Every structure is written in C-alpha cells, then in structure tokens.
Amino acid sequence: MSTPQANNPLHGLTLETILTRLVAHYGWETLGRMVDINCFTREPSIKSSLTFLRKTPWARKKVETLYLRTRFQDKG
C-alpha cells in the first residue's frame, strides 16, 4: 500500500497554520518584502491573505516554499 503524502513535508498543515506561523515569525512588513504580493503589503490580514492564496496557486507556492525554508525556533 502506498502513501502518496509520505514525502510531503506540508502534509497535515493548513494554509492558515502556515500563514499564521510565518506572520508570527517575520511580521507582515518583512513577509511583504519576502513575498511581494499586495495582500501582505496593503492592509494585510489573515482572512484576506487566505482568500487570495487559495485562489492564486503561484502565490501559494511562494508562501509554502518560504515556510519550508524558514527555521522556526519551535517545532509546532
């Protein structure tokens, strides 16, 4: 039996969790410089950013890639 998600490091993480952790780690201003999209630079909020990222695969990919590259202090 194969497990297609076995090698997916984002398996089990929601987009909201990913975004919330990135905002807590970097803050909106730094996050907006690292991933230059309007929902991070103009009146940012978790809700508006989630709406945009769910509809925009290229932006979501950038956020997921940044999450995987980020070295968080905690393991949660």
Q: Where are the domains of the chain?
A: 25-69
* Helix axes of 46-55 and 15-26: crossing angle, nearest 10 degrees: 130
Note the CATH number of domain 25-69: 1.10.720.30
* pLDDT in 10s for each residue of the chain, 76 residues: 455 666 888 888 999 999 999 999 999 999 999 999 999 999 999 999 999 999 999 999 999 999 999 988 765 5
66 and 76 in contact (C-beta within 8 Å)?
A: no
